[in-house]
Structure 1
């Protein structure tokens, strides 16, 4: 007798059964195990085509699926089913939710306050910086940042969330044991180490086939309250994600770009069609505030192991110090005063000299402040023209 979870895999693998049919049958009969106890006529009576009903009733290839489930612990993965309490609540609301997800990583999927950041693989430097800036600030504010682990904008959004010591989820167009692109293996490891997750509806071992990515995008947008498009060409896959987000009644945001750049024609067109313009993180938060299911933290504390991380360049991140000065009740750790912020900035400036370039790790160590605070203040000081960043994460007085 197959285990109960095997029936979930079997239902999806039966020929002709897609996510909508799975949802229909599970809502009608409760569990896949009960569905496989029915004959073809009983299944067809639920509104399923006759051939598909017959394929379900005659399905017997359970043994390989048992082996697939047994392999999940070996790769640090688990199965999260549509009826489980930790199935993503936003995803459950869409018309074609995956009946289950393969998940690697400790991140709970029940957080409704998720934001997707997607865009061009061949992104410009400005686009990359903007993606990382948004990822960092959204994660610092308590959002879970969702993206697709692709080159360019996706990778920068994940990295920004990691730099804020926040949560980020990568939705894959391949099996959760297959990292694509291969050069993002370290990034995927960092996502897992930081308490995030890799998610896919595809069987383990599935290669990154082109036809899998459009259907993957419905999960990416479905997990979230909204989708931010940073850079997208006219025929970009990110525009597919935006269209799916609109179909799912999600908010679509776009970062404006130069009309002379082909990299931003698609995202600029989204703005013409009604997408919300994004210049800073507050543009996203203000628009989504009425939909948020729970209050957000003002800033996530750095984990104990954060000192061992090598932060990415501060110019790829955005500071929220000005916003915090305007709203001292929202300052990090909930108790900093304006004087403390100024003192912290002074501490950093005192460690810098015009003729000497210090690595960001040295600044963190000598200042006694946590990595997140130093990164935020360094960027604020750079924006004010008081600090200059040099290649290799080196800083000096301007």
Structure 2
């Protein structure tokens, strides 16, 4: 007798069965093992095409799927099913949610406050810096950063979140055991080791074929409250993600770029069509504040009770949140006289050295990493501190 999880995999692998059909059948009949006890006529009566219903009723390849499940612990992966309490609440709300996800990493996916950052693979230097900074600032504020592990903007967004000792999730267009591109293997390992996760709906061993990525993008946007496009050409996969985000009733943001650059024509067009303009992290946070689940501090992300039901998780999306924005550079004159004791500790440390690495500042200050990163950002915006390449800081 196959294990219950095998039936979940089997339902999705039956020829002709996609995410919408899975959702339809599970809502109609409950657990997938009950579906496989039905004949083709009974399945078709639920609104499934007869050929597809026959494929489900005649499916017999359970043994190979059992072996696939047994392989998951060997790669540090697990299955999170649509009916599980730890299934992502935002993702459950879309029209075609994956019936299950393969997950590598310890991240709790029930945190609804995720924000995606995506963009060009062949990104400009300034675009990469912007993605890294947005990832760092969002993570320093306690938000989860989601991206696709691709070269360019995606990789920088993940790295920025890691630099803030925050949580980041990579959504793959291949199996969770296949890291693409290969040069991001260390980045993928760092994401897992930092408490983040690598996720995919595709079977282990699936290679990164081009047709996998558009469907992957619906998961990337579906996980999040909003999607930030940093750089996108006119024909870009990031624009597919933006379109899917709009279909899922997610907020779309775009970072403006030079009209002379082909790398940003797509993102600039999004701005013409109504996307929210992003110049700093506050532009994202302030727009999404009404949708966020509960109060948020920069020190730690919100926790969703383990015993929460899917209904409770969904209803939390309407909760209000108070966000303390960073001091803007234009308001620096108003805040120069009000320096906290913690900020003064950082300034005093910087006085003793021409440039200090962020890790040295964290160690010498005695403060936690997220507090130091937040304070450095505020001091930089106030014009007191300058950031240099390599995460080095000095007095301005």
What interval of TM-score do these two structures reach, taking the shorter chain for normalisation? 0.7 to 0.9
The SS at the match of 1:34 is helix
Superposition CA RMSD, Å: 2.3
Structure 1 residues 295 and 384 mapped into 2: Cα distance closer, same or farther (>3 Å)?
closer
Partner in structure 1 of residue 30 of structure 2? 30
2:317 corresponds to:
none
Please list the CA deviations of residues 310-358 of structure 1 after superposition, one character each: whole Å capped at 9, or x if unmatched: xxxxxxxxxx76369x9xxxxxxxxxx83314422431232224xxx55
Q: Could you list the runs of 5+ residues in structure 1 that have no partner in the other structure?
A: 302-319, 327-336
Extract unaligned runs of 5+ from structure 2. Answer: 302-324, 332-337
Query: How far apart are residue 116 of structure 1 and its match?
Result: 0.7
Indicate the residue corresponding to 1:322 in structure 2: 327
What are the residue-to-residue correspondences of 1:1-398 with 2, within 5 Å?
Answer: 1-300=1-300, 322=327, 338-353=339-354, 357-378=355-376, 392-395=390-393
Say if 1:389 and 1:21 are closer, same or farther in 2 by CA, change over 3 A: closer
Instruction: Tell me the secondary structure at the aligned position of residue 116 of structure 1.
Output: strand
Following superposition, the deviation at residue 292 of structure 1 comes to 1.5
Equivalent position SS for 2:353 = coil
Cα separation, partners in 2 of 1:103 and 1:2, compared to 1, 3 Å: same
Which position in structure 2 is the counterpart of 1:315? none
Deviation at 1:134, TM superposition (A): 1.1
Which residue does 1:313 correspond to in 2? none
Deviation for aligned residue 1:296: 1.9
Mapped partners of 1:195, 1:272: distance in 2: 38
Alignment length (residue pairs): 367
Alpha-carbon separation, structure 2, partners of 1:364 and 1:135: 19
1:384, 1:348 → 2: CA distance? 18
Seen in structure 2, the aligned counterparts of structure 1 residues 156 and 189 have a Cα distance that, compared at 3 Å, is same
Equivalent position SS for 2:70: helix
- Equivalent position SS for 2:101: strand
What do the CA deviations read for 1:274-302 (whole angstroms, capped 9, x no partner)? Answer: 1111111111111111112222223339x
Counterpart of 2:170 in 1: which secondary structure? Answer: strand
Q: Which residue of 1 aligns with 2:335?
A: none
Cα displacement string for residues 10-48 of structure 1 (whole angstroms, at most 9, x for unaligned residues): 000000101111011001000110000000000000010
After superposition, the C-alpha distances for 1:183-237 in whole angstroms (9 at most, x for unaligned) are: 1111111111111110000000111111100000000001111111010000010
1: CA distance, partners of 2:167 / 2:350:
31
In structure 2, what is the Cα distance between the partners aligned to 1:73 and 1:295?
36
Q: Which digits, 9 at most, give the CA deviation of each residue in 1:63-104, with x for residues without a partner?
A: 000000001111111101111111111111111110000001
Q: Partners in 1 of 2:387 and 2:244 — Cα distance?
A: 40
